[in-house]
Amino acid sequence: MLSRTATTKRSSSLKQVPALIRELPPLPEVATRVLQVMRDPRSRRPDVARLIIMDPALAGRTLAMANSAYYGLARRITSVDEAIGYIGFEQTKQLIYAASLQQMMTAPLSGYLLERGMLWRHSLGVAMGAHWVAERLRIYPVHNAYMGGLFHDIGKLALNRVVQEQARAQQRPLDEQTRSSLVQFERELTGYDHAEIGAMIAQSWQLPEDLVAAVRFHHDPGQQQPASSLVAAVHIANTVCLNAGVGVANQDYPFIFAEEAIAILQRLGWKEEDQEQLLKHIEQEIKQAEEALLRR
Ligand SMILES: [Fe+2]
Ligand SMILES: [Fe+2]
C-alpha cells in the first residue's frame, strides 16, 4: 500500500505526467511514418522502402539484416525494397522499433544508476528472452513478445530526471533502489512508477493494446485481468535478466517471479529447467548482438 506521503505526492504530481511524456523524444520521424504506412493494409513494399531510404542508417540496417548469414542468400541484396521482401514486414517493423529505441535507450540514466548502454542491453535481453519463451510455448504472434521486451522499461526514460531531482530534494540516496523494491522507491519519490508512465508513453505512441499491457504489468502480471501469456513471457524474461544482472546496476534485492505468470506459462508447458536455458539463450544472443555491432 502507498504510504500517506506517497499518496499526497501522487495527487500533487498528477499534473506533471503529460509533461513527463512530452519530455521524451518522439519516435524518429521516418520510423513514425513507416509504421503508419505499415498499419494501412493497402500499403505495398515500395511505399515502405521509399520511406526507409530517407534514413540512411535505417536503410543500412535493413540491407545488413537481409544480407546476414541468417537468410543465407547466395547474392548480395542492394535494394531496400528487395531486402524487405526477404525479411518480411513484421521483421522490418521490429528492426525500425529497435533502431529507434536504441538511439533513445543508449544514454546513461543516472537516476537509475545506469551507465551508457545499460538500459539498451537490458531491454534487448528481455526482448530476446520473451521471444524465446513465446516461441517455445507457442504464444502468438511471437514478435509481440519481442516488442513487449524492447519497450517494457521505456518509462524509465521519462522518470529518470524526476527520480534524480526528488531523491536529492528528499535527501534519499539513489542506491536505495538496489537494496529494496525499485517500483516502491519510484512511487515514494515521484508518486508514479516506470511501468505506469511507460504504458502512457506506449499509448501516446499508439502501440497496440497488448503491448501497452505488457509495459503496464511487467512487474505485476497478476494485476492484469485476465492475466495474459504475453505479459507473463515479458515478466519472466525481465525477472531472469534482473537477477542475472543483464544491463542492470548492482542489485542486492532479489526479484521474485510472480506466481500468476508462472502458472500461465506452466499451463502452456513451461518447466522449471527452462529458466536456466532461457538465461543461457539471452546471454548468447546478447554476445552475438554485441559482436555484430563491433564488426560494423
Ligand atoms: Fe521494469
Ligand atoms: Fe526491466
CATH topology of domain 108-295: Hypothetical protein af1432 (1.10.3210)
CA distance 259 to 257: 6
Contact 183, 196 (CB under 8 A): no
Place 141 in a pLDDT band, splitting at 50, 70 and 90: confident
Would you state the pLDDT for residue 6? 44
What is the pLDDT of the chain when averaged over all its residues? 87
Burial class (CB in 10 A: 0-12, 13-18, 19+), 152: buried
Q: Please say if the pLDDT value at position 146 is more than 70.
A: yes
Q: What is the per-residue pLDDT for 263?
A: 96
Q: Which residues pair with 114 in a beta bridge?
A: 109
Numbered ranges of CATH 1.10.3210.10 in the chain: 108-295
Whose cell is 548492482? That residue is: 250
Query: What's the number of CA atoms in the CB half-sphere (13 Å) around residue 226?
Result: 4
Q: How many A from CA of 195 to the centre of ligand 1?
A: 6
Taking 90 as the threshold, does the pLDDT of residue 180 lie above it? no
CA of 55 to the centre of ligand 2 (A): 29
238 CA to centre of ligand 2 in angstroms: 5
Q: What is the distance in A from the centroid of ligand 2 to the CA of 37?
A: 30
Alpha-carbon distance 63 to 114, whole Å? Answer: 32
- pLDDT of 283 reads 93
CA 47 / ligand 2 centre spacing (Å): 35
Confidence of residue 293 (pLDDT cuts 50, 70, 90): low
Q: Please say whether the beta carbons of 32 and 211 come within 8 A.
A: no
| Spacing, Cα 152 to ligand 2 middle (Å) | 6
Q: Is 174 helix (H, G, I), strand (E, B) or coil?
A: helix
pLDDT for the residue numbered 99: 84
- CA distances 229 to 13, 185, 257, Å, are 33, 28, 14
- Compute the distance from residue 241 Cα to the ligand 1 centre, in Å: 11
CA distance 145 to 230: 6
3-state secondary structure of 114: strand
- When comparing pLDDT for 259 and 57, which is higher? 259
DSSP H helices, the chain, are 4-13, 16-23, 29-39, 45-52, 56-66, 80-105, 118-137, 142-151, 155-169, 182-190, 194-204, 209-216, 229-244, 259-267, 274-295
pLDDT class for 262, splitting at 50, 70, 90?
A: very high
Determine the Cα–Cα distance for residues 220 and 124; give it in Å rounded to an integer. Answer: 20
Question: How many Å separate Cα 247 from the centre of its chain?
Answer: 12
Ligand at shortest distance from the CA of 247: 2
Q: CA-CA distance, 213 to 202, in Å (whole number)?
A: 9
Going from the Cα of 158 to the center of ligand 2, the distance in angstroms, rounded, reads 14
Query: By mean pLDDT, which of 42-46, 104-108, 287-291 is the weakest?
Result: 287-291
Q: What is the mean pLDDT of residues 28-39?
A: 81
Which ligand has its closest atom nearest to the C-alpha of 219?
1
DSSP 8-class letter at 177 = G
**Distance from the CA of 81 to the center of ligand 1, in angstroms?**
36
User: Is the backbone peptide bond immediately before 141 cis, with ω within 30 degrees of 0?
Assistant: yes
Identify which ligand lies nearest to the alpha carbon of 194: 1
12 vs 146: which has the higher pLDDT:
146
Which pLDDT score is estimated for 11? 44
pLDDT at 25: 64
Tell whether the model's pLDDT for residue 17 goes beyond 80: no
pLDDT tens-digit readout, 79-129:
999 999 999 988 888 888 888 888 888 999 999 999 999 999 999 999 999
Cis status, amide bond into 173, omega within 30 of 0: no
Closest ligand (CA of 119): 2
Which ligand neighbours the alpha carbon of 121 most closely?
2
- Residue range 25-42: mean pLDDT, rounded: 80
The alpha carbon of 15 and the centre of ligand 1 are apart by a number of angstroms equal to 23
Q: Which ligand is closest to the CA of 195, given by its number?
A: 1
293 three-state secondary structure: helix
